[in-house]
């Protein structure tokens, strides 16, 4: 993105509008001209811009093994990892191409491992494998294991007789190098989510997510204990990460085997002696300068505008009303306030349209995780933001939605909703076919 006066102006108009009590326009959406060069949602001062550009370069750079000559700044990969760069999983932050069908899980569908515990407790990984199953390694070691997916096709019909089909995944872990998982370890398949707009989600005041002063009570806020105090978490499919910084620290440590300023240890456990004995690429392996740069890059990523044709097609329908009537908007909140630092100092208020409440919901047993002995465990999910869906629909040959990419269309994603979202799903199913199409068309224009 070229920094231009126009965006700065837009932001200032926003504050003027807020001051006058009018509803300011949704902030943060930009047309993505070149998907390899995603725009930022506002003008950055030269220092921030330089840092964000460096961060973009780091995002796209594959890290290399410790001790690689001439690569001291980007060495320390692994020895156990999932992918060598952010971009391998996140595709310029814009979308995730999940599993196409039966077979080995793609790199960007990672399997996290977690021991059961209270929802706000610090996460404890499997005693042998740690927080994440690392399916890749440097040549001197072997990966921790491999993941294969097998889908079963489910068939059903809408009340009006129209048939539907879903694919229900089963995850098979094999070649487990250090023996079996603990029986109660929860197997958490997670697809890399889009990253755009994360800086805006981070700018939503905690009081809004907690529902203070409003009638919103559905779901639960995601708390995490950090030592002796609790913090509100908001990133990841289950809102397990406190901030963009926290999530990126985890990604580097657990998915890339890179120690960093936020997570000084990687995911080698006490039984993984070869992993612990491997040479390291510095303490920490990722310098504060590069770490902060990646955070800066992610923080300003704009949300991609829907294709103009999709917006035009949805313009005259009653999609927004149907979304509300059916009950989707109770969780997928169409508007949230944000407080951003102003370019010239101070703060500005604005409104974003993320279609999430950043709260956790139980969507029923069919979406819930299983533990290593095959038992379902109650799982709470952060309402997935729906902004940028139009861009993703327009770009992907096959969509892969929901936390493990099982849904191949907007319609399939809705049909998986159960638990707290059961009534909304039933109301959707009961709409006349034409109105279902109107709602789906409206979603594809977000
Ligand atoms: C091996 C694949 C993989 C790699 C490599 C990876 N990520 Fe991720 N990323 C994921 C997955 C999976 C999640 C979802 C985690 C969860 O739900 O707990 C995620 C979540 C995130 C989120 C939170 C998004 C949201 O809105 O909730 C951010 C930010 C992020 N990653 C940034 C990065 C950055 C920056 C890097 C490089 C340093 C990186 N990731 C490397 C797979 C990956
Ligand atoms: C009770 C809260 C709740 C209600 C009501 C609800 N949703 Fe969701 N929605 C969620 C959660 C939580 C997820 C993430 C679930 C997961 O990944 O397993 C989600 C995911 C989605 C996704 C997939 C997004 C993605 O990026 O993968 C779509 C599309 C969606 N919802 C649309 C709808 C529509 C349309 C309605 C109304 C018919 C609706 N939802 C009602 C909570 C809700």
User: What is the tens place of the pLDDT at every residue in 401-432?
Assistant: 999 999 999 999 999 999 999 999 999 999 99
Cα 285 from chain centre:
25
φ/ψ bin of 72: left (φ > 0), alpha (ψ from -120 to 50), beta (otherwise): alpha
**Quick one: which ligand is closest to 82's CA?**
1
Report how far ligand 1's centroid is from the alpha carbon of 90 (Å): 7
> Of the candidates 83, 67, 51, 73, which has an alpha carbon nearest to the alpha carbon of residue 252?
83
* More confidently predicted of 94 and 318: 318
State the residue range of the domain holding 379.
Answer: 5-443
Cα 424 from chain centre:
23
Which of 417, 431, 443 has most ligand 2 atoms within 8 Å of CB, for mutation?
Answer: 417
Q: pTM for the full model?
A: 0.94
256 lines ligand 1 (CB under 6 A): yes
Convert the pLDDT of each residue in 162-182 to its tens digit: 999 999 999 999 999 999 999
361 lines ligand 2 (CB under 6 A): yes
Alpha helical stretches, state H, 111-195: none
In the DSSP assignment, the letter for residue 165 is: E
Residue 216 has a pLDDT of 64
Report how far ligand 1's centroid is from the alpha carbon of 190 (Å): 9
In the DSSP assignment, the letter for residue 217 is: -
Rounded Cα–Cα distance for residues 289 and 278 (Å): 24
Average pLDDT, integer, range 7-15: 40
Collapsing DSSP to helix, strand or coil, 229 comes out as strand
Contact 256, 66 (CB under 8 A): no
Q: Ligand 1, atom 18: nearest CA belongs to which residue?
A: 236
Alpha helical stretches, state H, 41-100: 46-60, 86-90
Average pLDDT, integer, range 111-137: 95
CA distances 169 to 102, 148, 181, 406, Å, are: 9, 10, 20, 7
Point out which residues pair with 302 in neighbouring strands: none
Backbone phi and psi for residue 139, each to the nearest 5 degrees, phi listed first: -60, -25
Cβ burial 290-318 (10 Å sphere, 16+ → b, else e): bbbbbbbbbbbbbbbbbbeebeebbeebe
Average pLDDT, integer, range 259-287: 95
1 lines ligand 2 (CB under 6 A): no
Query: By CB neighbour count within 10 A (0-12 exposed, 13-18 middle, 19+ buried), where does 151 fall?
Result: middle
End-to-end CA distance of the chain: 22
Report how far ligand 2's centroid is from the alpha carbon of 166 (Å): 16
Backbone phi and psi for residue 124, each to the nearest 5 degrees, phi listed first: -110, 130
Contact 59, 51 (CB under 8 A): no
Report how far ligand 2's centroid is from the alpha carbon of 381 (Å): 9
Convert the pLDDT of each residue in 142-165 to its tens digit: 999 999 999 999 999 999 999 999
In the DSSP assignment, the letter for residue 388 is: T
* Other Cβ atoms closer than 10 A to 193: 21
The tokens of 387 are what?
């902004």
In the DSSP assignment, the letter for residue 221 is: -
Residue 169 has a pLDDT of 98
**Quick one: which ligand is closest to 237's CA?**
1
Rounded Cα–Cα distance for residues 44 and 52 (Å): 9
Q: Is the model's pLDDT at 2 over the cut of 70?
A: no
**Domains contained in the chain, number:** 1
Rounded Cα–Cα distance for residues 11 and 336 (Å): 16
């Amino acid at each position: 993105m070229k920094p231009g006066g126009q965006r700065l102006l837009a932001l200032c108009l926003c504050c003027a509008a807020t001051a006058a009590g009018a509803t300011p326009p949704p902030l943060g959406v930009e047309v993505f001209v070149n998907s390899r060069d995603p725009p930022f949602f506002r003008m950055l001062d030269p220092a921030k811009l330089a840092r964000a550009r460096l961060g973009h370069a780091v995002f796209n750079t594959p890290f290399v093994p410790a001790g690689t000559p001439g690569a001291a700044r980007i060495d320390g990969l692994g020895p156990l990892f999932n992918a060598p760069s952010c971009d391998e999983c996140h595709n310029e932050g814009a979308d995730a191409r999940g599993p196409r069908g039966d077979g080995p899980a793609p790199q960007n569908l990672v399997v996290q491992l977690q021991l059961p515990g209270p929802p706000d407790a610090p996460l404890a990984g499997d005693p042998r494998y740690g927080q994440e199953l690392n399916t890749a390694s440097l040549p001197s070691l072997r990966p921790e294991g491999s993941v294969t997916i097998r889908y079963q096709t489910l068939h059903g019909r809408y009340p009006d007789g129209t048939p539907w089909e879903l694919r229900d995944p089963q995850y098979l872990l094999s070649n487990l190098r250090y023996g079996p998982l603990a029986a109660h370890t929860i197997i958490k398949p997670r697809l890399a989510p889009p990253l755009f707009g994360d800086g805006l989600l981070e700018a939503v005041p905690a009081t809004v997510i907690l529902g203070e002063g409003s009638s919103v009570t559905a779901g639960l806020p995601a708390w995490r204990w950090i030592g002796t105090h609790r913090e509100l978490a908001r990133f990841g499919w289950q809102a397990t990460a406190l901030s963009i910084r926290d999530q990126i620290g985890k990604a580097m440590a657990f998915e890339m085997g890179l120690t960093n300023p936020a997570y000084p240890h990687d995911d080698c456990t006490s039984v993984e002696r070869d992993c612990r004995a491997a040479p390291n690429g510095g303490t920490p392996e990722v310098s504060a300068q590069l770490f902060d740069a990646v955070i800066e890059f992610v923080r300003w990523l704009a949300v991609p505008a829907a294709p103009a044709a999709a917006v035009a097609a949805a313009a005259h329908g009653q999609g927004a009303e149907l979304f509300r009537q059916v009950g989707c908007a109770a969780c997928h909140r169409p508007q949230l306030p944000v407080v951003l630092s102003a370019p010239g100092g101070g703060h500005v208020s604005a409104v974003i349209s993320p279609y999430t409440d950043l709260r956790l919901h139980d969507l029923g047993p069919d979406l819930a995780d299983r533990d290593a002995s095959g038992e379902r465990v109650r799982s709470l999910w952060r309402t997935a933001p729906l902004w940028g869906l139009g861009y993703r629909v327009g770009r992907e040959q096959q969509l892969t939605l929901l936390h493990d990419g099982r849904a191949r269309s907007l319609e399939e994603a809705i049909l998986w909703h159960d638990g707290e979202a059961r009534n909304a799903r039933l109301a959707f199913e009961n709409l006349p076919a034409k109105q279902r199409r109107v709602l789906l068309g409206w979603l594809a224009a977000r």
